[in-house]
Structure 1
Amino acid sequence: MAKRCTLLMDSDVHGPASWPVALEVVRNEGTLVASSIFIAEGTGFTSDTDWGKRLNELGIEPKVVPAKEASIELCAEALRLVTEEDVNIVCLAVKEDDFAYLSQKLRTAGEATGKKFSIMEIGSPSA
């Protein structure tokens, strides 16, 4: 089975210094299908900011979402990629254990459908 990977990041945890490293880790696992970072509305982020320019250079899609919905949006994107893009490795660059429930649900869904999903958690840079 081909390893098809996605990288989903929480901007509260991972800033520009960790983006290239996270991408490299994921690319070492398999083919990178998609990479996104979830950024809370109201932070002043635009595609013209330093962050916007760097994300564009790296090919990471910024997803600006209401702060209270960022976790839900990240989960929905993981589910979409698994079901629509045949991703079988989900790499989460988030606070450690923030998405343990999502990780477990993906594993359970994989078992139920005869697929195996690998979850790679990339903890905070200070961890």
Structure 2
Amino acid sequence: METLEDTDPRGQLYRSWQLKELLRMLPHQPVGQAEAELKRWIFRASHSRIPEVVELCRKIRRRRDDILRTIGPGYSNARLEAFNNKINHHPHGLRLPTRRQPHRHDQTPMQRPTHPPTNTHPLTHENNRRLK
């Protein structure tokens, strides 16, 4: 069996995991501490020499203020992600409930009401003038 050292001799996998875990814990900290941790994370990620992490670091650096703004009030998109997950993993996509009345065997199905036409006479040249 191969060891982690054999498959990842430069230690990129372990360092990537460490950086991911540090970033994951960021929203659970107070704002002041989160700001310091984010600054530390950006430094470590930008010096990691892992191309994917460095690219992510650039994006996080650009959105740093937005990230810190969401940590303060404790906003989360967990409910939205859970709903999205249900849609994406349902075999037929999202099925919204239909607006039907329950059908009873002793009644005929409900019919939509029909409305009389708004104009009862055909539009001719003379009728068209009266409408204006």
TM-score by length of 2: 0.26
Question: Which has the larger share of helix?
Answer: 2
Structure (1/2) with the larger strand percentage: 1
TM-score, length-normalised on structure 1? 0.27
